Structure 1
Amino acid sequence: MKVSQKIRAIRKAEGLTQAKFCELVGIALGTLKNVEGDHREPGLQVVMQVVNTPQFGKYTLWLMTDKTAPQAGQIAPAIAHIGQESTESNHSEKQIG
């Protein structure tokens, strides 16, 4: 999965609109639309802003490496999940052990 697709998965898993996600992360809506629309991959600055947003820090390891470490609070977004109630993931097959 490309980084742009992962960012969209995080936003969707958290139940956020593009505008709300941008407000939380501090990026321009046009930037997010270009990323999610596969017009360009996000640069390091965008990725850093996402992972440094407290609400999304739990996805850092997955976003950067495709791995999870639930015991350390590092998960993948539950793709079918809507909203913020659960942090469970079905993407934990690549756990760091």
Structure 2
Amino acid sequence: MYAKCTADGSVDDLRKVFDRMPEHNVMSWTAIITAYVQIGECDKEAIELFCKMISGRVQANHFSFSSVLKACGNLSDPYKHALREMEKFIR
């Protein structure tokens, strides 16, 4: 659903839908993270959302990890430190 909000290539509408939700669970977080990865050029934002999800005490599932790992793989070398940050939450 989130990715469908970006028909014009803008992530603004996508984020508005997510931000207006009264509560977020692992499914809503994973959906927006996955959408950011699928859009392309939003991998850093996807990782930031993942970190926000974890710091908000929402436990990631295998779908969440799959999406954020894809985002990490898409980043250029200077941003690979995000993967090290994720490792803190995995342990």
For the aligned pair, the TM-score class normalised by the smaller chain equals 0.3 to 0.5
Q: Which has the higher contact order (CA 8 A, sep 6+)?
A: 1
- Greater helix share, 1 or 2? 2
